[in-house]
C-alpha cells in the first residue's frame, strides 16, 4: 500500500481540472488521505482562467471548491487560494509547504510552436515536483468512473523505471487492476560512417522482442511490491508515440512511468519521453521521480514485500 496522506488537486476551473477532480476524489477516498483543493491565483491575470470573471473573488472561489469537495468528510478537505507570479511555482511551493504526497492536475494538451517552446503548467509541475504527479488530459468523452481497471507501465530497464514499476504494482493491487509491462524497441540504428551500417536492431538481434519480454518478466519478479495480474509486451516504435498509441488501442486507464527531471537547455528544447507521453496520452499519467519523495513502504522499496 502506498503511503498517501495528503493529495493536492491543482484546480484552475478548466474542463481538464474538472475531470481531474473525480480522480483526486477517488484516490483520496481509497487512501483516506486529506484532499487539498488549491486554486493558483496568478498575479495580473484574471481568475478562473476565464474572461467571465473580471476581478478576483476569493469567497466565490472557496465556495466553488467547497461544493466540489462535498463527497469527502469536511475534516479531510482543505481549500486554499494561493498567489504567485505564475501557476506552477504556486503549486510547487504549496506542495512542499504542506507535505503533499500526490499532485493531481489537468493538462490541456495543446500543440504547435507555442506549446513546444513555452510548455504547460502541468509539464512544469511534472518536471520540478518532488512528489508523484497524476496528470489528466481533457477528454471529449470523459470516463464515467475514476477507477483504474488496467494500468500500463512502460519499462526501459533503467533504475528509474524500476521505481515506477513498484508504484504501478501498488496501484494495480489497490485498484484490483490488470497490469501490463511494455518495452518499446527503438528499431532504427545509425549506420556506420561511410560503411554499409545496419538499419535495424532486428538485423542484429532478430529475437529482440522475445528477449525483451523475458527481461520484462525478470524485472517484474525482481521488483518489490505485491503480485498482481500481469502481462508482458514488446514492440517496435518510437517510445513517446508508441506508448500513447498502445494505451489508446488497448484501452488502458492509467500510465505509470518515471521522469528523470532533468533541467537545462537540453531539457528545455528536447523534452523527455515522459513529458511527451503526458502531452499525448489518452488516459491519466502517474509520473514518479527516483530521487524525489517516496510513497513506498521500506519493505516494498527494498523488494522485501510479496503478496
Q: In this predicted model, what pLDDT tens digit does every residue of 147-178 receive, in sequence order?
A: 899 999 999 888 788 889 999 999 999 999 99
What is the architecture, at CATH level 2, of domain 1-141? Answer: 3-Layer(aba) Sandwich (3.40)
Query: Nearest-CA neighbor of 277 among 306, 305, 237, 307?
Result: 237
Name the segment(s) of the chain with CATH classification 3.40.50.620: 1-141, 147-307
Give the pLDDT score at 243: 95
50, with CB counted inside 10 A (0-12, 13-18, 19+), is exposed
Give the pLDDT score at 213: 96
Give the pLDDT score at 222: 92
Q: pLDDT (tens digit, 9 = 90+) per residue, 262-279?
A: 444 444 433 478 888 988
208 versus 48: the higher-pLDDT residue is 208
Give the pLDDT score at 205: 75
Give the pLDDT score at 214: 96
> Who's near 7: CB < 8 A, 6+ residues apart?
24, 27, 28, 31, 33, 34, 35, 36, 100, 101, 102, 104
229 versus 146: the higher-pLDDT residue is 229
248 versus 51: the higher-pLDDT residue is 248
Secondary structure letter of residue 99 according to DSSP:
T
pTM of the entire predicted model: 0.83
CA distance 234 to 236: 7
Percent of the chain with pLDDT over 70: 71
Average pLDDT on 46-64 reads 53
CATH number of 147-307: 3.40.50.620
Amino acid at each position: 500500500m502506498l503511503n498517501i496522506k495528503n493529495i493536492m488537486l491543482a484546480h484552475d476551473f478548466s474542463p481538464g481540472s474538472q475531470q481531474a477532480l473525480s480522480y483526486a476524489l477517488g484516490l483520496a477516498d481509497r487512501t483516506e488521505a486529506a484532499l487539498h483543493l488549491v486554486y493558483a491565483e496568478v498575479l495580473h491575470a484574471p481568475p478562473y482562467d476565464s474572461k467571465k470573471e473580471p476581478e478576483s473573488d476569493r469567497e466565490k472561489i472557496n465556495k466553488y471548491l467547497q461544493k466540489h469537495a462535498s463527497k469527502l468528510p469536511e475534516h479531510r478537505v482543505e481549500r486554499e487560494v494561493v498567489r504567485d507570479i505564475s501557476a506552477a511555482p504556486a503549486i510547487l511551493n504549496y506542495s512542499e509547504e504542506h507535505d503533499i504526497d500526490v499532485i493531481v492536475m489537468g493538462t490541456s494538451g495543446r500543440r504547435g510552436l507555442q506549446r513546444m517552446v513555452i510548455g504547460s503548467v502541468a509539464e512544469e509541475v511534472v518536471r520540478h515536483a518532488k512528489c508523484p504527479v497524476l496528470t489528466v488530459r481533457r477528454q471529449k468523452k470523459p470516463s464515467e468512473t475514476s477507477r483504474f481497471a488496467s494500468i500500463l507501465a512502460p519499462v526501459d530497464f533503467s533504475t528509474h523505471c524500476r521505481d515506477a514499476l513498484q508504484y504501478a504494482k501498488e496501484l494495480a493491487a489497490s485498484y484490483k487492476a490488470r497490469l501490463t509491462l511494455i518495452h518499446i524497441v527503438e528499431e532504427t540504428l545509425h549506420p556506420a560512417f561511410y560503411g554499409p551500417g545496419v538499419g535495424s536492431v532486428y538485423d542484429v538481434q532478430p529475437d529482440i522482442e522475445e528477449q525483451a519480454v523475458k527481461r520484462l518478466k525478470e524485472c517484474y519478479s525482481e521488483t518489490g511490491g505485491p503480485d498482481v495480474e500481469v502481462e508482458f509486451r514488446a514492440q517496435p516504435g518510437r517510445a513517446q508515440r508508441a506508448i500513447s498509441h498502445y494505451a489508446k488501442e488497448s484501452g488502458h486507464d492509467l500510465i505509470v512511468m518515471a521522469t528523470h527531471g532533468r533541467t537545462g537547455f537540453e531539457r528545455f528544447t528536447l523534452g523527455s519521453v515522459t513529458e511527451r507521453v503526458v502531452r499525448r496520452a489518452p488516459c491519466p499519467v502517474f509520473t514518479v521521480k527516483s530521487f524525489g519523495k517516496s510513497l513506498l513502504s521500506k519493505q516494498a522499496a527494498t523488494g522485501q514485500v510479496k503478496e
